[in-house]
């Protein structure tokens, strides 16, 4: 067979559920602890589930010729931790991505994402004590309750990922002269 591939063929889609990577092929669901590969592209996609609109990041990875698309909600601990750790490393080099999920005794959940490169887990680029260029959470009152608005932080991370993973792609895309082709 040739090197031609139909859209979606040869790609393994990965979602995150309670700290595990989940894939479903031919009706069979498998779970994994993490995924290894080099990030080749990041896209942002608007989606809907049970009438609820949301946005997800589609992170394209390649490992030894196998392609993966890791999908995660942008308004999640997985996404924020993924971005914060990736920023402290070398984003265009091979990474191992491992989501995490905890539930405390009060039922409060915490989702995150660990990234390692060269066998070492990456620390967060920004912390509460060192916010750098990361915008602070905004405090808002909603129905009489104090809440935190992370809209600016999500926009910051989306812009960072978009600029990190589109610069080289745009620079290497050149239009070849095809004027001598018969069609």
Widest pairwise Cα distance in the chain: 70
Mean pLDDT of the chain: 88
Residue range 107-141, pLDDT digits in tens: 999 999 999 999 999 999 999 999 999 999 999 99
Nearest to 81 by CA among 157, 162, 165: 157
Q: What is the pTM of this model?
A: 0.83
Bridge partners (DSSP) of residue 99 are 113
Task: Name which of 32, 44, 166, 161 is nearest 97 in CA terms.
Answer: 32
């Amino acid at each position: 067979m040739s090197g031609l591939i139909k859209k979606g063929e040869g790609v393994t889609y990965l979602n995150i559920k309670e700290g595990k990577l989940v894939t479903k092929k031919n009706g069979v669901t498998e779970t994994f602890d993490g995924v290894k590969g080099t990030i080749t592209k990041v896209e942002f996609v608007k989606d809907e589930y049970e009438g609820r609109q949301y946005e997800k990041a589609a992170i394209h990875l390649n490992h030894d010729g196998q392609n993966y698309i890791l999908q995660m909600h942008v308004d999640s601990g997985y996404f924020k931790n993924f971005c914060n750790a990736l920023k402290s490393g070398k984003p265009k080099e091979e990474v191992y991505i491992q989501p995490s999920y905890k539930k405390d005794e009060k039922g409060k959940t915490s989702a995150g994402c660990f990234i390692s490169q060269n066998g070492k887990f990456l620390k967060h680029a920004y912390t509460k004590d060192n916010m750098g260029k990361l915008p602070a959470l905004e405090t808002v009152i909603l129905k009489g309750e104090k809440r935190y608005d992370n809209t600016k932080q999500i926009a910051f991370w989306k812009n960072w990922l978009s600029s990190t993973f589109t610069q080289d792609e745009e620079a290497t895309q050149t239009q070849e002269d095809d004027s001598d082709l018969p069609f």
